[in-house]
Protein backbone atom coordinates (compact mmCIF):
# COMPACT_ATOMS: atom_id res chain seq x y z
CA UNK A 1 0.00 0.00 0.00
CA UNK A 2 1.43 3.35 -1.04
CA UNK A 3 1.72 6.51 0.97
CA UNK A 4 -1.56 8.37 1.48
CA UNK A 5 -2.06 11.39 -0.71
CA UNK A 6 -0.77 14.56 0.89
CA UNK A 7 -3.60 16.95 1.64
CA UNK A 8 -3.08 20.62 0.91
CA UNK A 9 -4.89 23.70 2.07
CA UNK A 10 -7.69 24.75 -0.25
CA UNK A 11 -7.26 28.41 0.64
CA UNK A 12 -4.60 31.11 0.90
CA UNK A 13 -3.67 32.89 4.09
CA UNK A 14 -2.77 36.63 4.23
CA UNK A 15 0.73 37.43 3.04
CA UNK A 16 1.42 39.48 6.18
CA UNK A 17 -0.10 38.53 9.59
CA UNK A 18 -0.15 42.00 11.16
CA UNK A 19 -2.09 44.45 9.00
CA UNK A 20 -4.39 46.55 11.18
CA UNK A 21 -7.14 47.48 8.65
CA UNK A 22 -7.36 43.89 7.34
CA UNK A 23 -7.60 42.46 10.87
CA UNK A 24 -10.40 44.88 11.77
CA UNK A 25 -12.29 44.03 8.57
CA UNK A 26 -11.92 40.29 9.20
CA UNK A 27 -13.12 40.68 12.79
CA UNK A 28 -16.17 42.54 11.50
CA UNK A 29 -16.96 39.78 8.97
CA UNK A 30 -16.55 37.03 11.58
CA UNK A 31 -19.05 38.80 13.84
CA UNK A 32 -21.50 39.78 11.09
CA UNK A 33 -21.70 36.33 9.48
CA UNK A 34 -21.37 34.24 12.66
CA UNK A 35 -18.16 32.53 11.51
CA UNK A 36 -16.17 30.20 13.74
CA UNK A 37 -12.81 31.80 12.95
CA UNK A 38 -10.94 33.82 10.32
CA UNK A 39 -10.07 30.68 8.41
CA UNK A 40 -13.62 30.72 7.05
CA UNK A 41 -13.09 34.29 5.81
CA UNK A 42 -9.88 33.24 4.05
CA UNK A 43 -11.64 30.28 2.41
CA UNK A 44 -14.34 32.51 0.94
CA UNK A 45 -11.73 35.10 -0.09
CA UNK A 46 -9.80 32.34 -1.89
CA UNK A 47 -12.95 31.27 -3.77
CA UNK A 48 -13.41 34.80 -5.12
CA UNK A 49 -9.69 35.17 -5.83
CA UNK A 50 -9.64 31.96 -7.90
CA UNK A 51 -12.61 33.10 -9.97
CA UNK A 52 -10.97 36.48 -10.57
CA UNK A 53 -7.64 34.91 -11.57
CA UNK A 54 -9.46 32.64 -14.02
CA UNK A 55 -11.35 35.61 -15.46
CA UNK A 56 -8.16 37.64 -15.94
CA UNK A 57 -6.50 34.80 -17.84
CA UNK A 58 -9.52 34.37 -20.12
CA UNK A 59 -9.77 38.10 -20.83
CA UNK A 60 -6.24 38.06 -22.28
CA UNK A 61 -7.07 35.32 -24.83
CA UNK A 62 -9.19 35.52 -27.98
CA UNK A 63 -9.44 32.03 -29.54
CA UNK A 64 -12.64 29.99 -29.94
CA UNK A 65 -11.88 27.66 -27.03
CA UNK A 66 -11.42 30.67 -24.76
CA UNK A 67 -14.85 32.02 -25.72
CA UNK A 68 -16.37 28.68 -24.72
CA UNK A 69 -14.51 28.70 -21.39
CA UNK A 70 -15.64 32.27 -20.73
CA UNK A 71 -19.27 31.29 -21.11
CA UNK A 72 -18.75 28.25 -18.89
CA UNK A 73 -17.24 30.45 -16.17
CA UNK A 74 -20.09 32.97 -16.38
CA UNK A 75 -22.68 30.15 -16.26
CA UNK A 76 -21.00 28.54 -13.25
CA UNK A 77 -20.86 31.79 -11.30
CA UNK A 78 -24.48 32.58 -12.20
CA UNK A 79 -25.52 29.15 -10.89
CA UNK A 80 -23.75 29.95 -7.62
CA UNK A 81 -25.62 33.25 -7.45
CA UNK A 82 -22.40 35.28 -7.38
CA UNK A 83 -23.40 37.18 -10.52
CA UNK A 84 -26.63 37.63 -12.47
CA UNK A 85 -27.41 36.04 -15.82
CA UNK A 86 -26.08 38.23 -18.61
CA UNK A 87 -23.34 39.74 -16.43
CA UNK A 88 -19.90 40.54 -17.82
CA UNK A 89 -16.35 39.85 -16.68
CA UNK A 90 -16.29 43.31 -15.10
CA UNK A 91 -18.90 42.03 -12.64
CA UNK A 92 -16.63 39.10 -11.76
CA UNK A 93 -13.66 41.39 -11.14
CA UNK A 94 -15.87 43.56 -8.93
CA UNK A 95 -16.79 40.74 -6.52
CA UNK A 96 -15.77 40.95 -2.86
CA UNK A 97 -15.47 38.50 0.03
CA UNK A 98 -19.02 39.42 1.06
CA UNK A 99 -20.26 38.17 -2.31
CA UNK A 100 -19.29 34.60 -1.38
CA UNK A 101 -20.23 34.94 2.31
CA UNK A 102 -23.75 35.90 1.23
CA UNK A 103 -24.11 32.57 -0.62
CA UNK A 104 -23.14 30.36 2.32
CA UNK A 105 -25.78 27.99 3.68
CA UNK A 106 -25.57 29.58 7.12
CA UNK A 107 -26.28 33.05 5.71
CA UNK A 108 -29.15 31.94 3.49
CA UNK A 109 -30.98 30.30 6.39
CA UNK A 110 -31.16 33.72 8.06
CA UNK A 111 -32.09 35.51 4.82
CA UNK A 112 -34.92 33.04 4.18
CA UNK A 113 -36.13 33.53 7.79
CA UNK A 114 -35.57 29.89 8.70
CA UNK A 115 -33.23 31.00 11.49
CA UNK A 116 -33.30 34.09 13.68
CA UNK A 117 -29.53 34.62 14.01
CA UNK A 118 -26.32 33.49 12.35
CA UNK A 119 -25.33 31.51 15.43
CA UNK A 120 -28.68 29.72 15.47
CA UNK A 121 -28.37 28.94 11.75
CA UNK A 122 -24.93 27.41 12.31
CA UNK A 123 -26.24 25.28 15.16
CA UNK A 124 -29.18 24.08 13.04
CA UNK A 125 -26.87 22.90 10.27
CA UNK A 126 -24.33 21.19 12.52
CA UNK A 127 -27.09 19.42 14.47
CA UNK A 128 -28.52 17.99 11.23
CA UNK A 129 -31.79 19.94 11.21
CA UNK A 130 -31.42 21.25 7.63
CA UNK A 131 -31.92 19.52 4.29
CA UNK A 132 -31.20 20.60 0.75
CA UNK A 133 -32.74 18.70 -2.15
CA UNK A 134 -34.05 16.30 0.50
CA UNK A 135 -30.54 15.48 1.75
CA UNK A 136 -29.24 16.47 5.19
CA UNK A 137 -26.37 18.97 5.01
CA UNK A 138 -23.94 19.54 7.87
CA UNK A 139 -21.56 22.14 6.42
CA UNK A 140 -22.49 25.76 7.31
CA UNK A 141 -19.95 27.08 4.80
CA UNK A 142 -21.34 25.27 1.76
CA UNK A 143 -22.04 27.53 -1.20
CA UNK A 144 -25.66 27.12 -2.24
CA UNK A 145 -26.60 27.31 -5.92
CA UNK A 146 -29.60 29.24 -7.19
CA UNK A 147 -31.38 25.96 -8.01
CA UNK A 148 -30.71 24.52 -4.55
CA UNK A 149 -31.82 27.61 -2.61
CA UNK A 150 -35.62 27.00 -2.89
CA UNK A 151 -35.17 23.43 -1.57
CA UNK A 152 -33.80 24.52 1.83
CA UNK A 153 -35.99 23.07 4.58
CA UNK A 154 -35.98 21.28 7.91
CA UNK A 155 -35.90 17.51 8.23
CA UNK A 156 -39.15 15.75 9.16
CA UNK A 157 -37.63 14.62 12.46
CA UNK A 158 -36.48 18.13 13.41
CA UNK A 159 -38.37 20.07 16.07
CA UNK A 160 -38.12 23.09 13.76
CA UNK A 161 -40.20 21.27 11.15
CA UNK A 162 -43.27 22.33 13.11
CA UNK A 163 -44.20 25.87 12.02
CA UNK A 164 -45.60 26.52 15.51
CA UNK A 165 -42.16 26.03 17.07
CA UNK A 166 -41.40 29.09 19.27
CA UNK A 167 -38.15 29.73 17.40
CA UNK A 168 -39.88 29.81 13.99
CA UNK A 169 -41.03 33.17 12.64
CA UNK A 170 -44.80 33.65 12.71
CA UNK A 171 -46.69 35.04 9.71
CA UNK A 172 -47.08 38.34 11.53
CA UNK A 173 -43.35 38.60 12.17
CA UNK A 174 -42.55 37.72 8.56
CA UNK A 175 -45.01 40.35 7.34
CA UNK A 176 -43.35 43.02 9.49
CA UNK A 177 -39.93 41.95 8.25
CA UNK A 178 -41.01 42.17 4.61
CA UNK A 179 -42.48 45.63 5.19
CA UNK A 180 -39.27 46.78 6.88
CA UNK A 181 -37.17 45.37 4.01
CA UNK A 182 -39.39 47.06 1.41
CA UNK A 183 -39.13 50.37 3.27
CA UNK A 184 -35.35 50.06 3.55
CA UNK A 185 -35.12 49.25 -0.18
CA UNK A 186 -37.23 52.29 -1.10
CA UNK A 187 -35.09 54.55 1.10
CA UNK A 188 -31.94 53.22 -0.54
CA UNK A 189 -33.39 53.75 -4.03
CA UNK A 190 -34.50 57.29 -3.16
CA UNK A 191 -31.08 58.09 -1.69
CA UNK A 192 -29.35 56.77 -4.82
CA UNK A 193 -31.72 58.74 -7.06
CA UNK A 194 -31.20 61.92 -5.02
CA UNK A 195 -27.44 61.50 -5.18
CA UNK A 196 -27.62 60.99 -8.95
CA UNK A 197 -29.72 64.13 -9.36
CA UNK A 198 -27.24 66.12 -7.26
CA UNK A 199 -24.39 64.94 -9.46
CA UNK A 200 -26.31 65.86 -12.63
CA UNK A 201 -27.20 69.30 -11.21
CA UNK A 202 -23.59 69.84 -10.21
CA UNK A 203 -22.42 68.98 -13.71
CA UNK A 204 -24.96 71.36 -15.25
CA UNK A 205 -23.66 74.17 -13.03
CA UNK A 206 -20.12 73.35 -14.11
CA UNK A 207 -21.16 73.46 -17.76
CA UNK A 208 -22.90 76.82 -17.35
CA UNK A 209 -19.89 78.22 -15.52
CA UNK A 210 -17.58 76.95 -18.23
CA UNK A 211 -19.81 78.54 -20.90
CA UNK A 212 -19.73 81.88 -19.06
CA UNK A 213 -15.95 81.76 -18.74
CA UNK A 214 -15.61 80.83 -22.41
CA UNK A 215 -17.89 83.76 -23.39
CA UNK A 216 -15.85 86.18 -21.31
CA UNK A 217 -12.66 84.89 -22.88
CA UNK A 218 -14.08 85.40 -26.38
CA UNK A 219 -15.22 88.93 -25.53
CA UNK A 220 -11.79 89.72 -24.15
CA UNK A 221 -10.10 88.48 -27.31
CA UNK A 222 -12.47 90.55 -29.44
CA UNK A 223 -11.75 93.69 -27.43
CA UNK A 224 -8.02 93.09 -27.61
CA UNK A 225 -8.33 92.60 -31.39
CA UNK A 226 -10.28 95.86 -31.82
CA UNK A 227 -7.67 97.70 -29.77
Nearest residue to 44 (alpha-carbon basis) of 28, 29, 62: 29
What pLDDT, in 10s, does the model give residues 179-222?
888 888 888 888 888 777 665 555 666 666 666 666 666 566 55
Burial call 153-170: b when 16+ CB within 10 Å, e when fewer: bbeeebebeeeeeeebbe
Report the DSSP pairing between strands 135-136 and 130-132. Answer: antiparallel
Predicted structure pTM score: 0.78
Q: Where are the chain's structural domains?
A: 14-103, 111-169, 170-227
Residue 123 confidence (pLDDT) above 80 = yes
Q: Is the pLDDT of residue 223 over 80?
A: no
CA dihedral of residues 194, 200, 206, 212 (deg, nearest 10): -120
Amino acid sequence: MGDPKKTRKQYSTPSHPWVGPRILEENKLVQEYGLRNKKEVWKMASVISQFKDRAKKLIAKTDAQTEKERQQLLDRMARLGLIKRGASFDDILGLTVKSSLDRRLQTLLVKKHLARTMDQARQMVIHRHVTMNGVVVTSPGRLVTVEEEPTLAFTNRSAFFNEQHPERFSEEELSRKREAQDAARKRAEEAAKSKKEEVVAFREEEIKEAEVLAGEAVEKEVKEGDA
